[in-house]
Amino acid sequence: MFDFFLTFIPRAIIQGTPLLYGSTGETLTEKSGNLNLGIPGIMYVGAISGVIGAFYYESSLPGPEAFNGALAVAITLGANLLGSLLMGLLYCFLTVTLRANQNVTGLAMTTFGVGFGNFFGGSLIKLSGNEMPYLALNRTSLAFRTPMPGASTTGWFGQLFLSYGFLAYLAVILSLVAAFVLKRTRVGLHLRAVGENPATADAAGINVNRYKYAATCIGSVIAGLGGLYYVMDYASGIWSNNAFGDRGWLAIALVIFTIWRPNRGILSAYLFGGLYILHMYIPTGTDLAVKELYKMAPYVVTIVVLIISSIRNNREKQPPASLGLSYFREER
């Protein structure tokens, strides 16, 4: 039994980490009143941007011995951040400055982002001359996957807690920081006010648009890291088109599941990750069909949470009141 957990939990954590990034980013975004349905696209763009960075770094090297892990990580991260930031800015420009409908904009961004990811992914695969439909960035990935010191010497403890690449820990740290900022700082207070009641925030002298821009862009960047983690760590640096799948939507589901609390996101993300791979550990294992039903679980659970929270109508457990609406001072 213990052995089971020892293999199951790390896998759930690895599976859950991209979701955790996505949901932390989306939670911040939604707290400002922006329902960014472009998150799946942003995670794709983040991932491919990182891959592009890594690819060009790796192929610019004269030989394998010239590889510098820290530099590879820096370049990959930089490209990743830039890609997701630009997507965040695009979303803000359309929805905040031009006050376009958030749902339509988000969906268009997802179409664009997924296409962008697959297009450049496909192009890079072709450039690399690989016969198989994927691109392998083993060396950069290894740098990302370097476990914490002591992972292999501390037995089960190391396996459970130290065996992950740094991005897995960063996800936890970011969600804790996000929770802290939202709950304990003035910036967080103002951000919550913006998402709940922009008119009141405006009257209190808070720059609504600036907060929306900042929260959405930071949220995009964090979500983009989730995409990067997926390729570089979970997939061991192997990009193949569409492999990221519907994880972006799952991240949005996770936001609802955690009732807009990033700190709850950590365990919930691992739970979702666990649900996602649970089918592999089910004794009926031979029936492949059933595993698809298990994959349904996160979505069913999310709907149940959504329904229960609307029926109980507890004010603490609702989406930010102005979620999905653009703010225009002169409208009232």
Q: Least distance in Å: CB of 211 to other proteins? A: 12
Q: Output the six-digit token pair for 155.
A: 């037995």
Q: Output the six-digit token pair for 176.
A: 């804790």
Would you say 61 or 206 has its CB closer to other proteins?
206
Would you say 68 or 97 has its CB closer to other proteins?
97
Q: Least distance in Å: CB of 123 to other proteins? A: 6
Which residue is associated with the tokens 């457990």?
A: 317
Q: Least distance in Å: CB of 300 to other proteins? A: 6
Residue 231 has phi, psi (to 5 degrees) of -70, -50
List the one residue out of 212, 218, 7, 208 whose CA is nearest residue 95.
212
For residue 235, what are the β-bridge partners? none
3-state SS assignment for residue 140: helix
**What's at 118, amino acid-wise?**
N
78 vs 277: CA distance, rounded Å: 31
CA atoms within 13 A on the CB side of 327: 26
Q: Where do the DSSP E strands lie in 8-85?
A: none
Q: Least distance in Å: CB of 273 to other proteins? A: 16
Q: Least distance in Å: CB of 208 to other proteins? A: 11
Which residue is associated with the tokens 């530099």?
A: 71
Would you say 238 or 297 has its CB closer to other proteins?
297
Query: Are the CB atoms for 324 and 102 separated by under 8 Å?
Result: yes
Would you say 6 or 308 has its CB closer to other proteins?
308
Would you say 114 or 168 has its CB closer to other proteins?
114
Q: 197 vs 77, 181, 201, 244, 330, CA distance in Å?
A: 35, 19, 6, 35, 15
186 vs 86: CA distance, rounded Å: 27
Q: Least distance in Å: CB of 298 to other proteins? A: 8
Would you say 172 or 194 has its CB closer to other proteins?
194
Would you say 73 or 250 has its CB closer to other proteins?
250
**185: burial class by Cβ within 10 Å (0-12, 13-18, 19+)?**
exposed
3-state SS assignment for residue 136: strand
Q: Least distance in Å: CB of 185 to other proteins? A: 5
31 vs 37: CA distance, rounded Å: 14
Would you say 77 or 252 has its CB closer to other proteins?
252
Q: Least distance in Å: CB of 161 to other proteins? A: 31
Would you say 6 or 204 has its CB closer to other proteins?
204
